[in-house]
């Protein structure tokens, strides 16, 4: 991480992304130091307008500060705002309004007890609906991490949700839900085989007594249950892909809240996927063998 503090000059000489720390400075905690520590391992440049020693007695210091902020807000690839509860931060509100109307990506964090929290939430939802407001400096830092990995521009309609911890109860619940769906698909597949044997056996016994020449009719449920079995196996594979993809993203730290509780296959199931499932040994060996038995009984009964 590169750190630039006002009034030092920032010159963009590398591909490292620049993040401007907009938000409260006067009469509020030094949240800039906290987020700097949280982002210490990220490949970004932090532009911090908060000086450790502001020359309050220098009449030109304020003008230099304003010019520095003006210039580096325009140099930044990302502008993040934090509104603490201790101050209304009128300048930060002014800057937020201006940059929400621009194209530069913004991230917004608001303390839950900030006096104008509702105003920021409503106004942001109207102007920048893709921005997800967070309520802690830690979550704001996680958003920066996600943004840095995704690229300079936030895709339209995609929220930069805070990253999700591996040990989060939500993660365990989501994985349990996916596993339950996978187990359900496997159970349905096993049920197809059980019901197929039952139905085919009943038909064969019935037809042997009444009309042995029509025993081949018993192959119809074999085909039907084979198709259903292929369908459930294809669905199981799709949910397994979603499960494995989520775990992979979790290990790489790319999972966000928007990834949680998506209970749907990885993609739409297609006829080619269903037909492709027939190549599974658990399907073609079982149903081909069962169909062969029916044909053999028919031949013997002639």
pLDDT at 240 over 90: yes
pLDDT at 273 over 60: yes
Q: What is the pLDDT of residue 288?
A: 95
Q: Are 27 and 87 in contact (CB under 8 A)?
A: yes
Q: Are 301 and 215 in contact (CB under 8 A)?
A: yes
At residue 21 the predicted structure's pLDDT band, cuts being 50, 70 and 90, is very high
Q: With left for phi above 0 and alpha for psi between -120 and 50, is residue 89 left, alpha or beta?
A: left
Q: What is the pLDDT of residue 166?
A: 66
Q: What is the pLDDT of residue 49?
A: 93
pLDDT tens digit string along 115-149?
999 999 999 888 888 888 999 999 999 999 888 87
At residue 300 the predicted structure's pLDDT band, cuts being 50, 70 and 90, is confident
pLDDT at 274 over 50: yes
Nearest to 249 by CA among 234, 266, 272, 227: 266
**For the chain, what percent of residues have pLDDT higher than 70?**
92
Using alpha carbons, list the distances in angstroms from residue 261 to 50, 173, 243, 255: 40, 9, 11, 12
Q: Which residue has the higher pLDDT, 160 or 204?
A: 204
Mean pLDDT of 80-105: 91
pLDDT at 58 over 80: yes
Q: What is the pLDDT of residue 127?
A: 87
Burial class (CB in 10 A: 0-12, 13-18, 19+), 271: exposed
* Dist CA 13 CA 11 (whole Å): 6
Write down the residue that tokens 């996600």 correspond to. 146
**For the chain, what percent of residues have pLDDT higher than 90?**
54
Mean pLDDT of 59-85: 91
Q: What is the pLDDT of residue 158?
A: 39
* Dist CA 101 CA 126 (whole Å): 11
Write down the residue that tokens 């198709």 correspond to. 227
Q: Are 105 and 18 in contact (CB under 8 A)?
A: no
Mean pLDDT of 162-190: 82
Using alpha carbons, list the distances in angstroms from residue 179 to 145, 235, 251: 29, 13, 18
pLDDT at 40 over 80: yes
């Amino acid at each position: 991480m590169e750190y630039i503090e006002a009034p030092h000059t920032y010159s963009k000489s590398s591909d490292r992304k620049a993040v401007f720390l907009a938000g409260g400075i006067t009469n509020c905690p030094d949240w800039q130091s906290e987020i700097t520590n949280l982002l210490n391992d990220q490949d970004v440049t932090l532009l911090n307008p908060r000086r450790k020693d502001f020359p309050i007695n220098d009449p030109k210091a304020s003008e230099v500060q304003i010019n520095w902020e003006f210039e580096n807000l325009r140099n930044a690839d990302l502008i993040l705002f934090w509104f603490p509860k201790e101050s209304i931060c009128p300048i930060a509100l002014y800057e937020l309004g201006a940059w929400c109307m621009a194209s530069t990506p913004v991230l917004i964090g608001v303390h839950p007890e900030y006096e104008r929290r509702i105003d920021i939430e409503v106004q942001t939802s109207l102007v920048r609906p893709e921005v997800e407001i967070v309520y802690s400096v830690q979550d704001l830092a996680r958003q920066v991490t996600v943004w840095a990995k995704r690229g300079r521009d936030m895709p339209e309609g995609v929220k930069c949700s805070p990253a999700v911890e591996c040990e989060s109860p939500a993660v365990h619940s989501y994985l349990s839900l996916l596993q339950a769906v996978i187990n359900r698909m496997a159970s349905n597949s096993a049920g197809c085989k059980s019901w197929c044997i039952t139905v085919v056996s009943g038909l064969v016994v019935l037809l042997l007594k009444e009309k042995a020449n029509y025993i081949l009719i018993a192959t119809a449920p074999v085909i039907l249950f084979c198709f259903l079995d292929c369908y459930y196996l294809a669905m199981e594979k799709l949910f397994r892909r979603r499960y494995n993809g989520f775990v992979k993203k979790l290990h790489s730290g790319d999972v966000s809240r928007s990834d949680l509780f998506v209970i749907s296959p990885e993609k739409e199931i297609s006829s080619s996927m269903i037909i492709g499932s027939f190549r599974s040994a658990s399907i073609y060996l079982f149903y081909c063998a069962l169909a062969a038995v029916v044909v053999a009984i028919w031949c013997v009964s002639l």
